[in-house]
Structure 1
């Protein structure tokens, strides 16, 4: 069976459709796939210190889990402001490091616009004071500098201070 030749205008239309489909498929392939809270933190250059600490504390697997989680993620600059002695102490006491890191995580997915002036329970069991005035959100003494990095299992908000949980009685 012989295939009939296409006239030039149909050939051009077919070529354009083929190129358009290929471009669409390429564009779709370049859209980043949603990732977990842990992977979102790992992919964010300003959170490299937190990412490393999550890995050394064993919390990466938790934050790759079902969730949902809201993470108030201290930036690298926030960690630089922590006294060297405190960071050294956290490095020597993994259970204390885990307490500090889980103080930055809340169960559930809370976008910045959904923050109410209230207390919420962190994963380490201590209360966190959340406040919002317009677009300005704070967590305890920390300001949210970048909000709403959406992940498959929650959301990440970058904060400017490392929060230290209250001592357990």
Structure 2
């Protein structure tokens, strides 16, 4: 009888663990960290090793409170290497307090005021003949395209970012990880 109780307790513990893991199984890992649907964009982003520059920029621009807000938001989140690819000194210059307005514009041009999953975006792209305008909260209009099974986001200068990890669900929206920084026409 003791063995049966231990087996039951072990199987119950395993089942609970499996169910807990399953609750978050649909969200991909980002930057080596689990992304939890019950946490907001900022709470998840701070745990991604691939988004330390983005998090620093969001803090410098004073956008933490906004991106922790109710939303919903879609954030096209550039990885650190995307910021590293900018001309030397660009990130350091943008992080200076006197450049806060320019930094805010750049960052908010990565944010859409709705939660847009990749399947819906792909559908809009196809419905619009291969290119769909994406208005951002920063006043930019990005262009979404779909090439070789990947969603591509074009900025106002013709720069293109590829969505490398899509549909990272947050409590206040969704993150799509991208490989380039999107720049507004200035």
The TM tier, using the shorter chain, reads 0.7 to 0.9
**TM-score w.r.t. structure 2 length?**
0.75
Is 1:142 the counterpart of 2:161 in the alignment?
A: yes
Q: Which residue of 2 is the match for residue 43 of structure 1? A: 47
- The equivalent position to 2:135 in structure 1, one of 109, 118, 121, is 121
Offset from partner CA, 1:113-164 (integer Å, 9 cap, x none): 2212311211111211111236311111111122121111111111111111
Instruction: Rate the CA distance shift 1:67–1:134 in 2: closer, same or farther, 3 A.
Output: farther
**TM-score w.r.t. structure 1 length?**
0.82
Is 1:52 the counterpart of 2:43 in the alignment?
A: no
- The equivalent position to 1:99 in structure 2, one of 97, 102, 105, is 105
- 2: distance between equivalents of 1:75 and 1:120? 20
Is 1:19 the counterpart of 2:10 in the alignment?
A: yes
Q: Which residue of 2 is the match for residue 161 of structure 1? A: 180
Q: Displacement of 1:82 after TM fit?
A: 0.8
Matched residue count: 158
- Secondary structure of the residue aligned to 2:70 is coil
Offset from partner CA, 1:12-37 (integer Å, 9 cap, x none): 43332223223334555667653111
- Secondary structure of the residue aligned to 1:155 is strand
- 2: distance between equivalents of 1:85 and 1:25? 49
Aligned CA-pair RMSD: 2.1
Question: Over alpha carbons, which structure has the higher Rg?
Answer: 1
Q: Structure 1 regions of 5+ residues with no counterpart?
A: 1-7
- 2: distance between equivalents of 1:139 and 1:40? 22
